[in-house]
Amino acid sequence: MSDATKLYAQNGDPVFPRIVLPEIPNLAQIETYESNGGYGALKKALSMDPAAVTDVVKKSGLRGRGGAAFPTGLKWAFMPKGNEKAKYLAINADESEPGSFKDRQILEFNPHQLVEGILIASYAMGIKAAYIYIRGEYYKWYKILEKSVEEAYSRKYIGENIAGSNFSVDVYVHRGAGAYICGEESGLMESLEGKRGYPRVKPPFPAQNGLWGNPTTINNVETIANVPAIIWNGAEWFAKIGAEKHPGTLLYGVSGHVNKPGVFELPSGTLLTDLIYKYSGGVIGDKKIKMVIPGGSSMPPLRGDQLEGVKMDAESLKGAGSAIGTGGVIVMDEDTNLTKVLLRITKFYWDESCGQCTPCREGTGWMKKILQRMYDGGGKVEDLDLLVRVANNIEGNTICALGDAAAWPVKFTIQRFRKELEEELASQERSAAA
């Protein structure tokens, strides 16, 4: 099947475009990608002024898909213009946020669109070398990426004078080795330089002082995979898809107690309840929902009765008291043990804390200890306030956002499920007294 109208969502259903995961069989093969028009956006970009490419991305309204939803064009514009110092691009394929399994779909089914996006971004910013930092566990996808990059080299899309232009860039795949903190952008850079992945104090920001002290941009896989379609179709096309302030499609990963978990590419602003009931087949056994974490384990959880009308985009979720994060939706049914969930999540952050900041290192340990005591049946009602105090002491007092990520689930679960948790703890106190 060679349907040239589908890649980059050209002429696709304007309501339901599939921008980064088009339904084209064997798209991971370079022949298929090319025969569907692939690398056409790169050629188009190369005929434009680099600054004009950044401008299109800016006007499109594209925002980062790695968790913080930062405007991508603006980030690119922070990079210095000249070539006094070599400039670098790092692609974040660390994907380690619990509940997130979306970038992997791009790596498996559409790796060349990522490579093409990297090349366009590199041209726009005058990048000398781009490094794709992929988590060590993703061995299969590391192999796919290595092959895709090699193929692109052999067809002169990467290397010297790419596609006949006077622009040259190198692209390398770099494998991590198991550390969640290396997904944090400055931890990633430290790791790429061959060190422990300790996040850096900011400022200075990467655009001034990044890899090896040089100007660097870090972008997520999904963010960059959107770029070829934006260049091909124009900023206005993209800006009209989905939510006004956070346009485009998002890869929503739904997991937990649903009948058909999976990754769905849908316009931003899709209803959370549609994701759960329409696309993921509803809750197993038709049970009620107790809690949903809408954007990966670091984001504030929502109560089952808070889901109606909630739209899945950065602004709407902020309004609903959570955040879009990575778009990884974790659904928990009415029988879920909240203490067990919090204990598991907290154990994760405690495990993954790099230990540089005392509030994060000690605070995660304290929270874990209290939650373990509650889980073992030895909790007290006052433990809830104690947990909130520890969480508040972490939040905002650390070098990187892992601290906040550890604090939010605990703090907001207690805030939103106070009654249930108090009852449970009161009964624990009664049985301890008896």
Partner 1 sequence: MFTEENLRRVEEIKNRYPKPMAALLPVLWIAQEQFGWISEETMHYVGGLLGLPFNHVLGVVTFYTMYNKKPVGKYNIQFCGNISCMLRGADNLIEHLEHKLGIKVGETTSDGLFTLKEVECLGSCGTAPMMQVNNDYYEDLTSEKVDNLLEEFRKQAQR
Ligand X SMILES: Cc1cc2nc3c(=O)[nH]c(=O)nc-3n(C[C@H](O)[C@H](O)[C@H](O)COP(=O)(O)O)c2cc1C
Q: Work out whether 402 is an interface residue with ligand X (CB under 6 A).
A: yes
Q: Work out whether 176 is an interface residue with ligand X (CB under 6 A).
A: no
| Residue 407 C-beta: closest distance to partner 1, Å | 17
Q: Work out whether 98 is an interface residue with partner 1 (CB under 8 A).
A: yes
- Over the window 333 to 352, marking each residue x when it contacts partner 1 by CB under 8 A and - when it does not, the resulting string is ---x---xx--xx--x--xx
User: In this complex, which beta carbon is closest to ligand SF4, that of residue 205 or of residue 277?
Assistant: 205
CB 17 within 8 A of CB 204: no
Q: Work out whether 160 is an interface residue with partner 1 (CB under 8 A).
A: no
Segment contacting ligand X (CB under 6 A): 19-27, 88-96, 166-174, 334-342? 88-96
Among ligand SF4, ligand X, partner 1, none, the one that 183 touches (CB under a kind-dependent 5 to 8 A) is ligand X
Q: Work out whether 395 is an interface residue with ligand X (CB under 6 A).
A: no
User: In this complex, which beta carbon is closest to partner 1, that of residue 60 or of residue 110?
Assistant: 110
| Residue 131 C-beta: closest distance to ligand X, Å | 13
Q: Which of 223, 268, 297, 353 binds ligand X (CB under 6 A)?
A: 223
Q: Work out whether 70 is an interface residue with ligand X (CB under 6 A).
A: yes
CB 344 within 8 A of CB 309: no
User: In this complex, which beta carbon is closest to ligand X, that of residue 223 or of residue 280?
Assistant: 223
Return the residues of window 200-219 that contact ligand X according to CB under 6 A: 218-219
Q: Work out whether 379 is an interface residue with partner 1 (CB under 8 A).
A: no
Beta bridge partners of 302: 292
| Residue 398 C-beta: closest distance to ligand SF4, Å | 3
Query: What does the binding site for ligand SF4 look like in residue numbers (CB under 6 A)?
Result: 181, 199, 353-357, 360-361, 398-400, 402-403
Return the residues of window 184-203 that contact ligand X according to CB under 6 A: 184-185
* Chain position whose Cβ is nearest to ligand SF4: 360
β-strands 216-220, 129-134 pairing: unpaired
Q: Work out whether 129 is an interface residue with partner 1 (CB under 8 A).
A: yes
Contacting positions for partner 1 (CB under 8 A): 86, 95-101, 103-104, 129, 135-140, 170, 172, 174-180, 191-197, 212, 253-257, 261-263, 297, 328, 330, 332, 336, 340-341, 344-345, 348, 351-352
Contacting positions for ligand X (CB under 6 A): 64-68, 70, 92, 94-97, 181, 183-185, 218-220, 223, 400-402, 405
